[in-house]
Structure 1
Amino acid sequence: MRYTKNVVFAERNTIQHTNANNERKLIVDKWVKKRKDLTNRLRRIEGQIRGIQRQLENGEECEAIAAQMAAARKAMDKAFFTMMSCAMSQELEKHAVMTDDMETGVEDITRILAKYA
């Protein structure tokens, strides 16, 4: 009987470990996509900055340039908070297995920070 209990416990433990690994893989896959999206966002910001430089060189109105600078700054802030979300997730993973609920919580915090920062 004891042998059977150990086998059942080992199977449950394996299933739990497998589920945790699957959750971790999904979260890692999510961040691979987010990093790609972030890289694309930074490329767009880079294009915005080049556009601002052209505006300056062409002597355009200061208000129009300021508007473009504000847009680029807001885009950069959003990228920053996305990266901070990654940093928070990585730190949490050092101390516990990251679940979908935890990941959703980190994303919600990031969204709120980006919105009101």
Structure 2
Amino acid sequence: MHGYSGDKQAYLKRLRRIEGQIRGLHRMVDEDAYCIDVLTQVSAATRALQAVALGLLEDHIAHCVAHAVSEGGPAADEKIKEASAAIARLVRS
């Protein structure tokens, strides 16, 4: 069971909304929309994806990492390293 399982439907709903935003972006470019309008929509889609990523990260830490830490040992160290790497990827993006 993954940490996001309890919120799976909410994540899927948000991802469908983002998918619609991306289709809208495609349409805007296809219809030669004004550059700044396209960039504004790219920014909105990016923020929406970042919000999903942060939610997933929070769920991962609260569920998977916390579970591994409570058990201790090498699995805990691995989960902490994995979470740190995920945070670093999010910060760089």
For 1:76 and 1:31, how far apart are their aligned partners in 2? 15
The runs of at least 4 aligned residues of structure 1 exceeding 3 Å deviation read 30-33
Aligned to 2:53: 80
- Give the Å deviation of 1:88: 0.8
* In structure 2, C-alpha distance between the alignment counterparts of 1:53 and 1:91, rounded to whole Å: 38
Confirm whether residue 71 of structure 1 aligns to residue 71 of structure 2.
Answer: no
Size of the alignment, in residue pairs? Answer: 71
Distance (whole Å) between structure 2 residues aligned to residue 57 and residue 69 of structure 1: 15
SS at match of 1:96: helix
RMSD: 2.3
Structure number with bigger Rg: 1
Task: Using the aligned pairs only, state the percent identity.
Answer: 24
Q: What is the Cα deviation at residue 32 of structure 1? A: 3.3
TM-score (norm 2): 0.67
The Cα of 1:31 is off from its aligned counterpart by: 4.3
Question: Superposed, which structure 2 residues align to 1:1-117 within 5 Å?
Answer: 31-89=4-62, 90-96=64-70
- The TM-score with structure 1 as length reference comes to 0.54
Structure 2 unaligned blocks of 5 or more: 72-90
- Spell out, residue by residue over 1:68-103, the C-alpha distance to the aligned partner (whole angstroms, 9 max, x if none): 110000000000001111221211112228xxxxxx
User: For the residues of structure 1 that align with 2:24 and 2:17, how far apart are their CA atoms?
Assistant: 11
- Structure 1: 5+ residue stretches without partners: 1-27, 98-116
